Amino acid sequence: MKHLLMEFVKVTEKAAIASLEWIGRGDKIKADGACTAAMRSQLNQIKMNGVIVIGEGEMDEAPMLYIGERVGTGEGPDIDIAVDPLDGTNLVAKGQGNSIAVIAAAPRGKLLCAPDIYMEKISVGPEAVGCIDLDVPVYENLKNVAKAKNKRVSDLRVMVQERERHEYIIDEIQRTGASVILFSDVDVTAAIAPAISELNVDMFIGIGGAPEGVVAAVALKGIGGELQGRLLPQDEKQYGRCLQMGLENPHKKLLMNDLIKTDDCIFVATGITDGILLKGVHSTYSGKKVTHSFLTYGGSKGYQFIQSFHHSPCYVF
C-alpha cells in the first residue's frame, strides 16, 4: 500500500481543486458533484483493482462514489477504499472553514464496511492509548486520559460536535472542569485532532457518521492513536443494513482492529477551506492552484503535511 500513497494524494488534491469554484456559492450538490467526478477520474488512473467499500451520498442523496463501485485500471493489488470527496458540503456552500477531501485505503477485506448510519465514537492520541472505553462514564475516561498525559482533568480539552444530541456530554465534561471545544462539521478532523500535538486537543467524543469513524480509525492507525466506536441503528431497516454488510452484532463495541484490521493502510486528506488541520485550496496570482494535504501510513507512528503547487497538468511537490 505504501507505494500508492502519493497516488492517493493526487486523488484528494484533484477533488479539492475541483471544489474551488464552488466555495461560497450556496450549491452543495454541485460542489459535491464536482469533487466526486474529479476523484473518480483520478482513482481510475491508478494501477489497482479497487472497490469502494465506504462511499458518500447515501444519506443526503449527493452524487456518489457508490459502495461496490470498481475503480482503478483493474490491474495490480486488490484494494478496498473509503472516500468522502467533500466532507463538509454545507461548509463549502457557505464559504466556511474545515471542509476536506478525504480517502482511506487498505488491502481487500481489511476495512470495516460501515453503513451510512450513526456511530458513537471516542478517540485519543498516542499518549492515552488504552485509557478510553465507550462503556464507562465520560468522567472516568477524562480521569484516565488525564493520568496518562500527566495532567489535571481541569486541564483537558475535549472536542465535541455542536449538536443538540451532545448537550448532556457537554454538560458532563464541563462539570469536571475540563474545557469543551465545539465544532460544526467534519468529525474526521475532530477525531484525529487528539493525535496532533500542535492542536492541543486531548480527547474527542460524540455521535457522528459511521463511515467517518472508520476513516478516522485508519488515520489514527498511522499516527498511533485510538478510536472506539459503536453503531447506532435507528430502526429495523438500518439494523438489517448492518447485517447485510456482514456485521453480525451491530451493537458491538468496535475496537481499532475491528475498524481497520491491518497496519498496511493509508489515509490522505486535502484541505478545501481553511481549517484547524489544513489550509484550503487557493489560486495564486500566476494561476497556479495550491493545495495542503495531510497523510499517514499505518504503523508509521507519524504523519506528513504536503503543500503542492499545481502547474496543470503536472504536479510539483
Residues making up the binding site: 32, 56, 84, 87-89, 118, 163-165, 185-187, 209, 212
Residues making up the binding site for Mn(2+): 32, 56, 84, 87, 212
Residues making up the binding site for substrate: 87-89, 118, 163-165, 185-187, 209
Inter-residue contact 91 to 186 (CB < 8 Å): yes
List of E strands, the chain:
49-54, 70-71, 78-87, 100-107, 118-124, 157-161, 179-183, 203-209, 226-231, 253-254, 266-271, 282-283, 289-297, 304-311, 314-316
Angle of CA points 132, 137, 138, to nearest 5°: 70
Report DSSP letters for 51-119, one per residue.
EEEE-S-TTT------TT-EES-S-S-EEEEEEEEEE-HHHHHHT-S--EEEEEEEETT-B----SSEE
Grid cell for residue 299: 504503523
